[in-house]
Amino acid sequence: MPQSNEESSSSSVRPAVATAVAQSVCQLFRSMMRREVGCGVPQPGCAKLSDKHVRATIALSGPLAGTVSVLLPEAAGVEVIAAFAGRTLAFGSAEFRDAAGEMANIVAGAAITHIGVRNVKLGCPKTAFITSPDAGASQAQTPNNECFVLSCVTQGGTLLVEVSLVGAKASAKAA
Amino acid sequence: MDSTLRVLLVDDSKTMRNIQRAMFSQFGITEIEEAQDGQDALSKIGAFRPTLVLVDWNMPVMDGLAFVKNVRERGMTMPIIMVTTEGEKTKVITAIKAGVNNYVIKPFTPEVLAQRVEETLAKKAA
């Protein structure tokens, strides 16, 4: 069962970013996959999946820096990627990871548009096929990063979207 | 849609190229070439002679904006549609100034993409 790795310290999830990411996930599912998806309340902490999964990450730089990652466990991932790509792709294959990377790219790009922050640069997708539980531990969690996870439920299962914002905690403390 | 179109799809994601290819195939368009970045597209454009180009913005090696500028500098006038996640207004304007004829923001529905293609071709023919 997907879950977020909760932090012990209180973390101020940036509501605008969380809302924008949820909006972009819904927009992607409704437009390109013709299906509904429900995103839960953002949970502080980085994503951790005990099952094997594919992680696709987009780096953000500029006024809003960090990463947006889509994590696809096998059952949900195969179903979602088939809906996106138009055909079933082997879980973890290069084609599967390419599709996951494009999904992450679209989620990140649409979220930036919803937030309305200018001059944010999107990196090219980086993907990984995580086969052991600990190997997927996010590198997104560093002392100054604010990390949160959205669980997105669709037919076929649940996928996770992890957002890590560089320097967000330091900025929040200073404010 | 004119089934004699020769379409060049430029995107670093094979999945996205497949999605676009499927849409054009539905309209009976079979002359479709693919490129994974701007440089790859430039190497194919002379031999393929596309009558329509769809190009992503963010790609490794050569991005979509550099590709468009390069194509226009060579005097090529075929319609180019930017299909990208870059939704910022200033970026849309930058792309149009560089020579892009139309702009589609991802995510898109097949209907929106088809409509933008039709619009672009109609304007070019006018």
**How does pLDDT run across B15-36, given as a tens digit for each residue?**
999 999 999 999 999 999 999 9
> How far B124 CA sits from the closest chain A CA (Å)?
28
- Identify the pLDDT of residue A134: 58
Give the range of the structural domain holding residue B91, as residue numbers without chain letter: 6-125
CB-nearest to A106 from B12, B85, B88 is: B85
Inspect the interface and report whether the beta carbons of B59 and A113 lie closer than 8 Å. Answer: no
Q: Which residues in chain B have Cβ-Cβ distances shorter than 8 Å to A123?
A: 58
Q: Strands, DSSP E only, in A77-145?
A: 121-122, 126-130
- Identify the pLDDT of residue A168: 57
Angle, CA B98 vertex, CA A123 and CA A119 arms, to 5°: 35
Inspect the interface and report whether the beta carbons of A98 and B86 lie closer than 8 Å. Answer: no
**H/E/C letters for each residue in B25-93?**
HHCCCCEEEEECCHHHHHHHHHHHCCCEEEECCCCCCCCHHHHHHHHHHCCCCCCEEEEECCCCHHHHH
Taking CA atoms, what residue in B is nearest to A112? B87
Taking CA atoms, what residue in A is nearest to B59? A124
CA distance readout (Å), B120 to A36, B1, B52, B112, B124: 31, 11, 9, 12, 6
CB-nearest to B85 from A85, A95, A122 is: A122
Angle, CA B116 vertex, CA B115 and CA B120 arms, to 5°: 120
Domains identified in chain B, total number = 1
Per-residue pLDDT 10s for chain A (175 aa) are: 444 444 433 345 578 899 999 999 999 999 999 999 999 999 988 888 878 999 999 999 999 999 999 999 999 999 999 999 999 999 999 999 999 999 999 999 999 999 988 899 999 999 999 987 655 555 555 667 889 999 999 988 999 999 999 865 544 444 4
Q: Indicate whether B72 belongs to any domain.
A: yes
Q: Which residues in chain A have Cβ-Cβ distances shorter than 8 Å to B86?
A: 109, 122
Q: Indicate whether B22 belongs to any domain.
A: yes
Inspect the interface and report whether the beta carbons of A124 and B86 lie closer than 8 Å. Answer: no
Query: Is the ipTM, as predicted for this complex, more than 0.90?
Result: yes
Q: Which residues in chain A have Cβ-Cβ distances shorter than 8 Å to B13?
A: 98-99, 101-102, 105, 125
CB-nearest to A109 from B13, B60, B86 is: B86
Domains of chain A in sequence order:
3-174 (3.40.1550.10)
Inspect the interface and report whether the beta carbons of A124 and B90 lie closer than 8 Å. Answer: no
What's B65's domain CATH number?
A: 3.40.50.2300
Q: Indicate whether B35 belongs to any domain.
A: yes
Per-residue pLDDT 10s for chain B (126 aa) are: 888 999 999 999 999 999 999 999 999 999 999 999 999 999 999 999 999 999 999 999 999 999 999 999 999 999 999 999 999 999 999 999 999 999 999 999 999 999 999 999 999 888
